[in-house]
Structure 1
Amino acid sequence: MIFNSIEFFIFLPLVFSIFWVFAKRGVKTQNFILLVASYVFYGWWDYRFLSLIVLSTLVDYVVGRKIYASQDRSHQKKWLTLSLVFNLGLLGFFKYFDFFVHSFITAFSFAGAKMEHQWTLDIVLPVGISFYTFQTLSYSLDIYRERLKPSENFISFATYVAFFPQLVAGPIERASQLLPQIDGDKKFKYDQAVQGLKLMLWGLFKKIVIADALAPIVDDIFQHADSYPSTTLALGGILFGFQIYGDFSGYSDIAIGTAKLFGIELMSNFKFPYFSRSIAEFWRRWHISLSTWFRDYLYIPLGGSKAGRTKAVQNIFIIFLVSGLWHGANWTFVIWGLFHAILFLPLFYLNLNRNFLETPNLFSSVRTFFVEGTQILWTFILVTIGWIFFRSETLSNALLYLKRMLFDFSHSEYHHPNGYRMLDYYLLLVGFSIFEYIIRADERNPIGFKNRYVRFLVYLILIFIMALFYDDGVDRSFIYFQF
């Protein structure tokens, strides 16, 4: 089941009504309803893979309690190892088995050896496995570090793992932040629910009007990169940047907004990343739940930046490469991660990686407008080059795309594959960027205008534009479902 489907628009009001009708019966009833709803939500896609979520939940529930009950550090390490091996093994098998087999066969082919591809299994990737395995892993790791006590109620823990708004594409929540809310008695708050509905509307707008509307154009340009000139290929990279942002941040907004309807607050996952003035700032604003996860559970345990510059550089490369590989079993993602590591290193060496912690304000002065505006533009260009690797199906396709984009200086006007007027899309993206700049101070309150008439007008405009750009022929699934 996906957020922008008819099934979800039936499912959500039904679950919302049942939840609050029976909410007075206590936390156990509330969590049981959420757990059943979450399993139905996930099982709607493929009920067979529910067994993986249940098994992962059981393993880490037991591991957490065993680690906490033991006073022997070596004994605790054995239980933690079980959690790591199980979760990473589960993720590795479903996501990377075929990738490593293909890479192994390809490597041997360069040496003249011929090997058959019969060892590959063509495994179906369970939706959301990268997200819920990381979520359960953080639970076991936090208990091992003595930063968290284990959950005493299995239903509560299972609800934490499977909570349907963020189950398949995040945000990747920490148990220390989400579990106390699940364990607590949830009360309906009108203002919280209204804010949730606003976030859902804004998320749907980004998904339908930005991501889905741009998808046919992006697909056409990337599929025919060998026949388009540089200007069109540059356009394709830029539009994909907007597409993936609208798609993924739109999902996160809907997830956060949906959780608010049940009295639960999820962490922010995006903070207007395309207004970043450096790559370091971009990674503080893009997919925050993943970047902070790698920081806390990989970068810092490896020694972070406290073990000397050489070690720190090594650790930076590791987290960016692992981040790339986390996104998919393809060398294009690995190169994408390596590209961002290379961009990040100069900032680290010059101690500039902690600059720009405040919200950008381009119009504070003429100098700021030109200096920070140039920094934002340059960062966006670098990120867009990285997106070309991310979007391309193979490394050779990405290199061909870049070669033609950088060295084919011919120009021709691009025409929409379905015959629509491209000017409408350009105006849409300009208007979208202006609106995002206006609301840049608070990503959780995108339609927070104080005047109710202005708010009502914005609602009407968003709904009208969604109806105008809605295309029933577009694949409506979210990009990050494949990760």
Structure 2
Amino acid sequence: MLFNSFEFAVFFPLVAAAYFLLPHRWRWLLLLGASYWFYMAWKAEYAVLLVISTLVDFTAARGIAKASTPVGRKRWLLLSVITNLGILVGFKYFNFLNGTLRDLFGAGWPIADLDVLLPMGISFYTFQTLSYTIDVYRRQLEPTRDLGRFALYVTFFPQLVAGPIERAPALLPQFFREVRFDAARVTRGLKQMLWGFFKKLVIADRVAPIVDQVYNHPADHDGITVIFATALFALQIYCDFSGYSDIAIGAARVLGFDLMENFRTPYRSASIREFWSRWHISLSTWFRDYLYIPLGGNRVLKWRWYFNLFVVFLISGLWHGANWTFVLWGALHGAYLVLALVFAPFWRQAERKLGVHRIPRTWRFLNVLVTGLLVLFSWMLFRANDIGDIG
């Protein structure tokens, strides 16, 4: 079920009304059933993947907590990692990797592509459940004994298919507390949902056909037209992604739950680093906490620090889609950040000589402009249909 569908327009008011009419002890069960209904309205058989992730991560977390040796704890963690990444790679990346190998080895490559649909929300809920198990492994979280509410944490319909990617310490305890009807809170939630629908339906969906017309046949258009279409795509993707997040956050707020802010006016950023602190925040912080820091972060030699950054953004690009264009997009942002670090001392020295502290607003405006142009260029890679369209 999609947010921008007639089914959701009927589904959500009915669920919200039933939720507040039911006694507290039954509400989690209603939300769990509604979440599975929401997902199964798209393709019922793929709900088994949610069940697998739920059972494996619930069991793995309990196993980690009970294990008496470091080796035992690692084995339970590996069960979670292999299961979740196996599901993600199998459904999202198998054909991409298989096609790449077929291109390398020629028509004689013996393995055929899988005839499967990409499960809705798979990139989001696998990361969400992985974060739970890793937090338990790090002793940052006690595993829950409540399988039902953990299943709700995995499948909570407002953020199941498009985020934000929530952490268990923030969301899971909310399913245990009693929520009272609050008219002001419901009103704020509905307003945020309406704002999200406006961004998605009125802006993103109206701009998309113009962008598609250019990017589906880029060779037929001159450079100015492609740049204009890319600027429209920058607007489209922001309104699409942040619109879905607003709907999710607003819907959760109506029901009495708080989800994290996911977009914070990213196009006002004065650097690429600032852009990533404002864009898809739940994903950026996930990669920071579960990949960048474990790789060593910035607590290593400089070359290794730069390598860590680049790898994280390379994988972040691949997370967005199984296409080399996304990999290049991630690599470009990684290169932006590495180059910014390399030249930072020279840049600070130049700023002192120029006396930019006397014109802070003008200087920030210029930095926002340059950052915007760099991001705009990267969106060309992101939107291109394949590598052949680039250039």
Q: TM-score range by the shorter chain?
A: over 0.9
Q: Work out the CA distance in 2 between the residues paired with 1:30 and 1:280.
A: 41
* Residue number in structure 2 paired with 1:98: 95
* Aligned counterparts, 1:447-466, within 5 A: none
* Residue number in structure 1 paired with 2:304: 311
Provide TM-score, normalisation by structure 1.
Answer: 0.77
Say whether the 8 Å CA contact 1:102–1:117 is kept in structure 2.
Answer: no
* Residue number in structure 2 paired with 1:438: none
* Aligned counterparts, 1:174-213, within 5 A: 174-213=167-206
| CA offsets 1:46-75 (integer angstroms, 9 cap, x no match) | 011001001110110111111112231111
Q: Secondary structure of the residue that 1:165 maps to in structure 2?
A: helix
1:16 aligns with 2:8: no
Say whether the 8 Å CA contact 1:98–1:123 is kept in structure 2.
Answer: no
Say whether the 8 Å CA contact 1:60–1:136 is kept in structure 2.
Answer: yes
Q: CA deviation at 1:123?
A: 2.4
* Residue number in structure 2 paired with 1:275: 268
* Residue number in structure 1 paired with 2:161: 168
Q: Work out the CA distance in 2 between the residues paired with 1:118 and 1:70.
A: 40
Q: Work out the CA distance in 2 between the residues paired with 1:16 and 1:337.
A: 39
Say whether the 8 Å CA contact 1:196–1:260 is kept in structure 2.
Answer: yes
Within the candidate set 364, 367, 379, 1:387 is matched to: 379
Q: CA deviation at 1:117?
A: 7.2
RMSD over aligned CA atoms reads 1.6
* Aligned counterparts, 1:253-264, within 5 A: 253-264=246-257
Q: Work out the CA distance in 1 between the residues paired with 2:343 and 2:109.
A: 49
Q: Work out the CA distance in 1 between the residues paired with 2:151 and 2:261.
A: 22
Q: Work out the CA distance in 1 between the residues paired with 2:185 and 2:259.
A: 12
Say whether the 8 Å CA contact 2:215–2:385 is kept in structure 1.
Answer: no
Tell me, which stretches of 5 or more residues in structure 1 are unaligned?
356-364, 400-483
* Residue number in structure 1 paired with 2:118: 125
Q: Work out the CA distance in 2 between the residues paired with 1:307 and 1:120.
A: 41
Tell me, which stretches of 5 or more residues in structure 2 are unaligned?
349-356
Say whether the 8 Å CA contact 1:274–1:282 is kept in structure 2.
Answer: yes
* Residue number in structure 2 paired with 1:88: 85
| CA offsets 1:283-329 (integer angstroms, 9 cap, x no match) | 00000001100000000011100012111111101100000111111
Q: CA deviation at 1:116?
A: 5.0
1:219 aligns with 2:216: no
Say whether the 8 Å CA contact 1:273–1:285 is kept in structure 2.
Answer: yes
1:60 aligns with 2:57: yes
Q: Share of identical aligned residues, percent?
A: 48
Q: Work out the CA distance in 2 between the residues paired with 1:99 and 1:279.
A: 29
Q: CA deviation at 1:268?
A: 0.6
1:343 aligns with 2:365: no
Per the alignment, do residues 122 and 390 of structure 1 end up closer, same or farther by CA in structure 2, a change over 3 Å counting? farther
1:376 aligns with 2:355: no
Q: Secondary structure of the residue that 2:144 maps to in structure 1?
A: coil
| CA offsets 1:237-284 (integer angstroms, 9 cap, x no match) | 100010000001000000000000111000010001011111110000
Provide TM-score, normalisation by structure 2.
Answer: 0.94
Letter of the 1:226 partner, please give it.
Answer: A
1:29 aligns with 2:26: yes
* Aligned counterparts, 1:106-125, within 5 A: 106-109=103-106, 114-115=107-108, 119-125=112-118
Runs of 4+ aligned residues of structure 1 deviating over 3 Å after TM superposition are: 349-352, 365-369
Q: Secondary structure of the residue that 1:45 maps to in structure 2?
A: coil
* Aligned counterparts, 1:232-243, within 5 A: 232-243=225-236
| CA offsets 1:16-40 (integer angstroms, 9 cap, x no match) | 0100000xx22x4111010001001
Q: Secondary structure of the residue that 1:212 maps to in structure 2?
A: helix
Q: CA deviation at 1:189?
A: 2.1
1:39 aligns with 2:36: yes
Q: Work out the CA distance in 2 between the residues paired with 1:98 and 1:8.
A: 31
Q: Work out the CA distance in 2 between the residues paired with 1:351 and 1:162.
A: 43
Within the candidate set 315, 326, 331, 1:322 is matched to: 315
Q: CA deviation at 1:367?
A: 3.3
Task: Tell me the number of residue pairs that the alignment of Structure 1 and Structure 2 aligns.
Answer: 381
* Residue number in structure 1 paired with 2:285: 292
Per the alignment, do residues 272 and 71 of structure 1 end up closer, same or farther by CA in structure 2, a change over 3 Å counting? same
Q: Secondary structure of the residue that 2:42 maps to in structure 1?
A: helix
Answer with 269-278 or 343-352: which moved more: 343-352
Q: Work out the CA distance in 1 between the residues paired with 2:240 and 2:358.
A: 34
Q: Secondary structure of the residue that 1:119 maps to in structure 2?
A: coil
Q: Work out the CA distance in 2 between the residues paired with 1:283 and 1:92.
A: 25
Letter of the 2:380 partner, please give it.
Answer: I
Q: Work out the CA distance in 2 between the residues paired with 1:340 and 1:220.
A: 26
| CA offsets 1:123-163 (integer angstroms, 9 cap, x no match) | 21100001000000000000000000111111100000000
